[in-house]
Structure 1
C-alpha cells in the first residue's frame, strides 16, 4: 500500500503524530513535511534534467529507470530485451526443427544398450 505499511500501522502513526505534535501544531507539521517532499522531488527533477542536458542529444532515448540494476537484469537477462527475445525465439525455432533423431549428432544421441559380452567403445584420443 503506502511504503509497505498496513492500514493499522498508518492509523498508529497518525495517532502517534497527534500525540507528539498535538492537534494545534499537527497541520503546520504536515504542511512543512509536504513542502519538504515537494522540494526533494523538485531537486530530483532538476538533477535529472541537468543530467539529460549534459549528456547531449545522442542520449535522448536514455531512460534513467533502465539504469536501475533490477530493471536492467529483468529486461536484459530475463528475456524482456529485444535482442535477447529474438535470440531466444531463434533458438527455440532451431530446437523445434532439430527434434528428429536423424538430425541429432552421434555425440548427442542416447547410447544404445550393449549386447551381452560386447565391449564398450574405446576412444584412444579421449583418454
Structure 2
C-alpha cells in the first residue's frame, strides 16, 4: 500500500504528527490506530472464512484475489498447458517494432538495401517506389492532392 513512500517522507510525516498532536498524545494515537487496523483485518478475515464455509468444500482453494480479472487471466494462462501456442505467439509479436515500421512508412522512410537500415526516399531510388505517389508520364513521381472531404 505504501511501497512508494521513501525514508524522507516517513520522517516528514513523523515530524508533522509530532507538531499536530504533540509528544504526549502521539503514543496513544498510534495505539488507537493500530487497534483499529487490527479490528478491520479481523473483520475481513472472519468475513472471508464465513464465505468459504458457505460455499462448501469444493471451493476450499478459492482465493479472493482471483476475483480480479487480471489476476484470474494471468493464473489461467500460466497453468493451462493447452495455451502454449498463445504464449509463443505473444512472445513472437513485437508491437513496438510494428508501430515503428508503420510510422516510418507514413513519414516517407523506406527500408534500404541493408537489413534494418532506414533511408529516405531519395536513397531508396527506383527499387522501392513510394506507393503514395502517382507516376508522372515523364517517369517521375508526384504526390496526389489531399482531399479532406474524402477522408
Q: TM-score, normalised by structure 2?
A: 0.52
Q: Structure 1, residues 40-78: CA drift from partner, whole Å, max 9, x if none?
A: 1001001101100111112112122222223113223xx
Unaligned runs of 5+ in 2: 89-151
Q: How well do the aligned residues superpose, as a CA RMSD in angstroms?
A: 2.3
Query: Quick check: 1:53 aligned with 2:49?
Result: no
Higher strand share goes to which structure?
Answer: 2
Which gives a bigger RCO, structure 1 or 2 (Cα 8 Å, sep 6+)?
Answer: 2
- How many residue pairs were aligned? 88
Alignment partner, residue 88 of structure 1: 84
Alpha-carbon distance in 2 for matches of 1:5, 1:91: 35
Unaligned runs of 5+ in 1: 93-127
Alpha-carbon distance in 2 for matches of 1:33, 1:13: 15
Alignment partner, residue 4 of structure 1: 4
Alignment partner, residue 74 of structure 2: 74
CA offset at residue 90 of structure 1?
9.5
Q: Structure 1, residues 64-123: CA drift from partner, whole Å, max 9, x if none?
A: 2222223113223xx31x22x33315996xxxxxxxxxxxxxxxxxxxxxxxxxxxxxxx
Alpha-carbon distance in 2 for matches of 1:74, 1:30: 39
Alpha-carbon distance in 2 for matches of 1:50, 1:11: 40
Q: TM-score, normalised by structure 1?
A: 0.61
Alignment partner, residue 118 of structure 2: none
Assess, with a 3 A threshold, how the Cα gap between structure 1 residues 54 and 16 changes in structure 2: closer, same or farther. Answer: same
